[in-house]
Amino acid sequence: MSRLSSAETTTEEQPAPLVDAARDEMVAALATQLGDAVVESHVAPGRDAWVRVDLSAWDTAARVCREQLGLTYFCYLSAIDWLPSPFGRSEDDSAPTVAPSTDQLDHGVAGGATRFQLLARLVSPTTHLGINLKCDLPDDGLTAPTWSRIFPGADWNEREICEMFGITFAGHPHLVNIYLPGDFEGHPLRKDFPLLSRMVKPWPGLVDVEPMPGEPDEDEEATEAGDEE
């Protein structure tokens, strides 16, 4: 598997389009088994493969991966909330934020249509290829079929997703909080759940930046000048 970038390529050369036969084959096999349920897929040659499936086929996809494609190793199961944080994108971003709306969300690789997406990874211990599975969850029905019958390791991951995002799993044997105390209100990893420590004391901004090794420390003068008010 060759990497996409190397120190030698210059911008003039067009690298030959790399083809990752093994991953393409794996994604194609999954698409054949699931048919219409595969909404979108993406293969980054030499790196990884993503497949977005329909919610109705979420557990079927897991079963197919494990039984037909040999992806027997359960890596993890998680979720992504694509809403940009109403409290600012990062700590040093002091620009006023646009009120986020749920219909114009920027999704990542293999696309997406909803705010919440499930993300899972399965790997094959023999071919060492992995696949990232994504799945859209409609805002009014944050429920997905459970994976714990197929991959027992998903049990705890689903409990974590449930308490952190509010997504429930149908058929899960014991969906209780795993990290948070039982009476915790709210779902912390949702973007509209504020990080309380930052609400209480806002970040002071870029105060000091460590200079690159070998470079003079120009920034200290700049911030000192700025700090003098």
Partner 1 sequence: MTAISERQQRSYIGAIAAEARVNVELETEGMTLNIGPQHPATHGTLRIIAKLDGEQVVSAEPVMGYMHRGYEKLVEVRTFPQVTTLINRIDWLGNFANEVPFILAAEQLMEIEAPARAQYIRTIFFELSRQANLMLFLGDMGVQLGAITAVFYAFRDREHVLNLMESVTGGRFHPNFDRIGGLKDDLPKGWVEECKGAMVKVRRFCDEIEELLMGNEIFETRTRGIGVIPAEVALGYGLSGANLRASGVDWDLRRDNDYPLAWKDADFKVWTHPDGDSFARYWVRLQEVRESTKIVDQLIENIPAGPIMAKVPRIIKVPAGEAWVSTENPLGEMGYYVVSKGDLGPFRVKIRTASFNNISIVPWVMRGVYVPDVITILASLYFILGDIDR
DSSP readout, 60-87?
HHHHHHHHTS---EEEEEEEEE-SPPTT
Output the six-digit token pair for 143.
Answer: 């429920």
In the three-class reduction of DSSP (H, G, I as helix; E, B as strand; rest coil), residue 141 is classed as coil
Q: Least distance to partner 1 from the beta carbon of 80, Å?
A: 5
- Cβ contact 114:136 at 8 Å: yes
Give the residue with the Cβ less far from partner 1, 36 or 220: 220
Task: Please give the C-alpha separations between residue 208 and each of 3, 41, 131, in angstroms, as whole numbers.
Answer: 35, 42, 40
Q: Least distance to partner 1 from the beta carbon of 181, Å?
A: 8
Give the residue with the Cβ less far from partner 1, 35 or 176: 176
Instruction: Please report where in the chains the tokens 């390791």 appear, as a residue.
Output: 153
Output the six-digit token pair for 149.
Answer: 């019958």
Give the residue with the Cβ less far from partner 1, 35 or 212: 212
Q: Least distance to partner 1 from the beta carbon of 35, Å?
A: 26
Q: Least distance to partner 1 from the beta carbon of 174, Å?
A: 9
**Binding residues for partner 1 (CB under 8 A):** 1, 3-7, 46-48, 50, 72-76, 78, 80-81, 84-85, 88-93, 106, 108-109, 119, 121, 125, 128, 130, 132, 151-153, 155-156, 164, 177-181, 188-189, 195, 198, 203, 209-214, 219
